[in-house]
Amino acid sequence: MSFEQNVSLSTAATGQDGREEVGQHAADYAIVLRDLNRVFGQKAAVNHLNLAVRRGEFFGFLGPNGAGKSTTIKMMVGQLRPSSGQVWVGGVDVWKDPIKVRSIIGVLPEHLNLYERLSGREFIHFAGRMYGVPGTDVDKRTEELLQVLDLQNDADKLIVDYSVGMRKKVALAAAIMHRPQVLFLDEPFEGIDPVSSRVIRDILHELTQRGTTIFFSSHIMEVVERLCTRVGIINQGVLVAEGSLQELRERASGSGEAKDATLEDIFLNVIGVRDESHNLSWLEQ
């Protein structure tokens, strides 16, 4: 589904120029990107990207390595200034009121930058206070998160001694402590064991059920296919496909793909990867 088609679904966006209207009515959406562009030297990492994500959606954001996924997320959360274009999150212009935006979002980046000389309990507690969660609620939520994420036995160890999976879990706990309106996740299941993955999936599902919008980037197609209500695929900085899995399948079947194509099949077709044999000749000897 194209950006303009998305806009037309909103009763607020009824003007001739859909992109202009959605900017005026950005509060009707959880996330709006309009002509978002980021150039590094001579290379456009993100190339005039337009996207609208409704409130309460679990939106999957896919693309091959170097496609512009992490760059896009960094611009959406206020970590990287766009070369041009605009971003609204929760109806707030990210670059006009970045402090307000950071108060209503949670972020789990791909590359974690944690205070390693704090314990897991101290870090989650610190995040809650930074987000302005009342003191009694901070204590309660911290203990509940430690319990649910199976960190209670390691809660008082320093983060420097945590495994990759434990770091991911404590960072997720800090990101959702304040019940954010919009949660950005960049490869959240990397390094996570199957048991913890199931727990995290359940938490994310409950968050969306209670109104949180999740913007989710991952290379694990099965997880995206299971969790996401809508998917966008970016390649070389350009949004090349967008819609629900059913919509993407219908388009794939129209172009010769099977109607029951998996998300991986659709993804490979959209980014132009052909089904070719890649055998190693020396293994056949």
- Global confidence as pTM: 0.86
Using the Cα atoms of residue 5, residue 7, residue 11 and residue 16 in order, give the sign of their dihedral: negative
pLDDT of residue 2: 38
Handedness of CA 251, 256, 260, 266 (dihedral sign): negative
Mean pLDDT, residues 9-27: 47
Round to whole Å and give the CA distance between 222 and 76: 25
Stretch 12-16: mean pLDDT, rounded? Answer: 35
pLDDT tens digits for 162-195?
A: 998 999 999 999 999 999 999 999 988 887 888 8
**What residue spans define the domains of the chain?**
3-273
Q: How far apart are CA 157 and CA 242, in angstroms?
A: 43
What value does the mean pLDDT take over residues 156-162?
A: 96
pLDDT digits (tens, 9 = 90+) for 46-61: 999 999 999 999 999 9
**Predicted local confidence at residue 256, as pLDDT:** 55
Q: Please tell me the CATH code under which domain 3-273 is placed.
A: 3.40.50.300
Q: Classify strands 213-217 and 58-62 as parallel, antiparallel or unpaired.
A: parallel
Strands 105-108 and 58-62: unpaired
Residue 99: pLDDT band (50, 70, 90) is very high
User: Can you give the pLDDT at residue 220?
Assistant: 87
What are the tokens at 227?
A: 């969790």
Q: What integer pLDDT is reported at residue 281 of this predicted model? A: 76
pLDDT of 20 > 60? The answer is no
Residues 6+ apart with CB under 8 A from 106: 175, 176, 177, 178, 180, 182, 183, 184
Q: Hey, what amino acid is at 240? A: V
Nearest CA-CA partner of 67 in 225, 273, 279: 273
Mean pLDDT of 254-271: 77
Cα–Cα distance for residue pair 27/93, rounded to 1 Å: 10
